[in-house]
Amino acid sequence: MNNATPTILLYGFGNPARGDDGLGPALAAAIEELGIPNIAVDANYQLTVEDAAEIAGYDAVVFADAATQGSTPFWFSRVDDTTVKRVGNSIGSIGWTSHSVSPAQVVALARDLFASKVAAYALGIRGYEFGDLDEALSSRAIDNLTEAVTFARKALVERQFEHYVQEFGPPAAGDATGGTTWKA
């Protein structure tokens, strides 16, 4: 946290021990370092259900994570939580593990449980190397991170998120908020 009354949350997630999967937390750390007024920053390995309570009170949340597809160096998209209620959609299904929750699920829960009006966006930073245990980002991912930090700083200061959705996203293939096309 870098301000007493932040209204926007930047939330980076991913596993820093899995190479480029650490792009989300790396971006969060870089943004926190900048100390942008009224911007809260958080990071975790993965999203969990209680994140619904955390994001509920903000005007806007930007989820930052590594992307395996889509534009380079990054893309920016609106998180469409209505997709979680589509019949048969994988995002709304129960699944078989507690180790995976999507931004769309978190936003949907925030709306349903806490009457949240938070606007939600996803920043997908293109990564390349995910398979091995490695605490370092790949060189290409570092390049993309540098540009993503510059973009995120500008977006968080200007708060023209809808404008940037038009300019930078969503990714060409698939549903940006579904998760499966980002990394599957």
Does 132 help bind other proteins (rule: CB under 8 A)? yes
- Give the end-to-end CA distance of the chain in Å, rounded to a whole number: 32
The answer to whether the CB of 44 falls within 8 A of the CB of 7 is: no
Report 104-123 residues binding other proteins (CB under 8 A). Answer: 104-105, 108-109, 112-114, 122
Kindly list the distances between the CA atom of residue 129 and the CA atoms of 13, 39, 133, 141, in Å, as whole numbers in the listed order. 16, 30, 10, 8
Comparison of 24 and 73: residue with beta carbon closer to other proteins: 24
Q: Which stretch binds other proteins (CB under 8 A): 90-98, 139-147, 148-156, 159-167?
A: 90-98
Does 131 help bind other proteins (rule: CB under 8 A)? yes
The answer to whether the CB of 75 falls within 8 A of the CB of 170 is: yes
Does 82 help bind other proteins (rule: CB under 8 A)? no
Comparison of 73 and 178: residue with beta carbon closer to other proteins: 178
Does 87 help bind other proteins (rule: CB under 8 A)? yes
Token pair of 67 as six digits: 């992307």
Does 138 help bind other proteins (rule: CB under 8 A)? no
Question: From the list 27, 30, 39, 52, which residue makes contact with other proteins (rule: CB under 8 A)?
Answer: 52
Does 76 help bind other proteins (rule: CB under 8 A)? no
106, 124, 127: which is closest to 55 by C-alpha? 106
Nearest-approach distance from CB 37 to other proteins, in angstroms: 23
**Which chain residues interact with other proteins by CB under 8 A?**
13-18, 21, 43-50, 52-53, 65-66, 68, 84-85, 87-105, 108-109, 112-114, 122, 130-133, 178-180, 182-184
